[in-house]
Amino acid sequence: GENVEQHPSTLSVQEGDSAVIKCTYSDSASNYFPWYKQELGKGPQLIIDIRSNVGEKKDQRIAVTLNKTAKHFSLHITETQPEDSAVYFCAAPDANAGGTSYGKLTFGQGTILTVHP
Amino acid sequence: EAQVTQNPRYLITVTGKKLTVTCSQNMNHEYMSWYRQDPGLGLRQIYYSMNVEVTDKGDVPEGYKVSRKEKRNFPLILESPSPNQTSLYFCASSHNRGGGQPQHFGDGTRLSIL
């Protein structure tokens, strides 16, 4: 099955700095890589995702990059703000031999991001 | 409003007393899934359902049961809860091919098994 490793486990930055969180995955057939943000007391919420046919995707201050050869993808947040403080999770699906299952989804261990004003 | 609703939000109970956590979605999603969240371990998938009457095990299914009799509901059943099932539980739903589509999460159910 899929194995997803996420680093770092905690990240502390000053407001206005950039933050980068990296995930590696093991299943070379995986082709969908989402990032979720979890605020205190809430369920995770999708903030950005990328499919394997592109190498980078941006949405305002947030970007995700994908390196399929190295099997890693990263979340980049620029000009961080205090409201970016949250727990961030990456994930990757378990693609079965036929590449059509996608029922199972494996999450990384999470990164606690703290943005100091 | 599109949402995934879990009940109860909090529950303290004792070992061996059967309990059910309900999950309902109003988005007509085919796929639903249950996760547990524990510190340092992220979210781990318990069971998922690709459609009505179709369920399958995730990574940590031991001690749990699910059913999918209707498209909108996906209850999680703990027939004989034990303290190691104390955790924060999330239900999620998405359109078909759930692992390959954005998932919508409920706000969680915190279970404490004494």
Cα–Cα distance for residue pair B87/B19, rounded to 1 Å:
14
DSSP state of B86: -
- Name which of A9, A41, A49 is nearest B102 (Cβ-Cβ): A49
Test A104 with B45 for CB contact under 8 angstroms: yes
Is B110 or A1 the better-scoring residue by pLDDT?
B110
Q: Which two tokens stand for residue B98?
A: 């759930």
Question: pLDDT averaged over chain A?
Answer: 91
pLDDT digits (tens, 9 = 90+) for B93-110: 998 766 678 899 999 999
pLDDT at A98 over 60: no
User: Strands across the sheet with A62-67, in order?
Assistant: A4-7, A19-25, A72-77, A62-67, A56-59
Report whether B49 contacts B99 (CB < 8 A). Answer: no
Which of B38, B43, B90, B93 is the best substitution to test chain A (most A C-beta atoms within 10 A)? Answer: B43
Question: Is B101 an interface residue toward A (CB < 8 Å)?
Answer: yes
pLDDT tier for residue A100 given thresholds of 50, 70 and 90: very low
Q: What is the DSSP string of A11-50?
A: EEEETT--EEEEEEE--TT--EEEEEEE-TTS--EEEEEE
Q: Name the phi and psi angles at B32, rounded to 5.
A: -140, 155
Looking at A29-33, A106-110, B25-29, which range is the least confident one? A29-33
pLDDT in the model for residue A103: 77
- Name which of B43, B56, B100 is nearest A32 (Cβ-Cβ): B100
- Name which of A9, A93, A107 is nearest B100 (Cβ-Cβ): A93
Chain A CB contacts of B48 below 8 Å: 103-105
Exposed, middle or buried: residue B80 (CB in 10 Å: 0-12, 13-18, 19+)?
exposed
Looking at chain B, which residue has its C-alpha nearest residue A47? Answer: B102
Contacts of B52 (CB under 8 A, 6+ apart): B68, B69, B70, B71
Residue with tokens 């209850």: B75
Question: Is A114 an interface residue toward B (CB < 8 Å)?
Answer: no
pLDDT digits (tens, 9 = 90+) for A40-92: 999 999 999 998 888 999 999 999 999 999 999 999 999 999 999 999 999 99
